[in-house]
Amino acid sequence: MIGYSVRSAAMGGADVAVDADCSGSSCNPATQGKNASSSLALGLSTLMPQLSFMDTQNTLDGEDQLFPLPYMSYVHWFDNSAWTAGINLYAQGGMGVDFREVETFAGTSDSIESQVNYMRMTGTATYQVNDKLSLGAGLMVGYADIQFALFPNTYSAGRDNTPGTMDDFMGMDVDDLGDYGVAGRIGLQYRLTDKLNLGFQYTSEAVLDPDGGTMTLNFGDRRVKYDAEMNDFTWPRELEVGLAARVTPQLLLAADIKWLNWSSAIKNIQLQGSNPDIPVPLSSPDLQFTMNWKDQWVFALGVEYTLFYRHILRTGYNYGQNPVPDANLTPLFPAITEHHLSLGYGYKRKGWAIDVTWEHAFENSQTNSSPGPPADPDGIANPFAPGPTVSHAQNTIHAVVTWYF
Mean pLDDT per 10-residue run, the chain (405 residues)?
Answer: 95 97 92 93 96 92 93 95 96 89 90 94 97 97 95 84 71 95 97 98 95 94 94 93 97 98 93 93 87 96 95 98 92 94 96 97 93 52 71 97 96
Does residue 17 lie within any of the structural domains? yes
For the question of whether the overall pTM of this predicted structure is more than 0.75, the answer is yes
Nearest to 170 by CA among 264, 103, 106, 234: 106
Contact predicate 85/75, CB 8 Å: yes
Does residue 76 lie within any of the structural domains? yes
Strand partners, 90: 120
Res 386: pLDDT: 67
3-state secondary structure 170-226: EEEEEEEEEEEEEEEEEEEEEEEECCEEEEEEEECCEEECCECEEEEEECCCCEEEE
Does residue 1 lie within any of the structural domains? no
Q: What is the rounded (10 degree) CA torsion for 323, 325, 330, 333?
A: -10
Does residue 227 lie within any of the structural domains? yes
Query: How far, in Å, are 109, 111, 117, 119 from residue 145 at the CA level?
Result: 27, 20, 6, 9
Res 43: pLDDT: 97
In total, how many domains does the chain have? 1
Does residue 295 lie within any of the structural domains? yes
Could you tell me the CATH number of the domain that includes residue 390? Answer: 2.40.160.60
Res 243: pLDDT: 98
Cα gap 268→122, rounded to integer Å: 28
Residue 318 sits in which domain range?
A: 6-404
Does residue 177 lie within any of the structural domains? yes
Res 377: pLDDT: 45
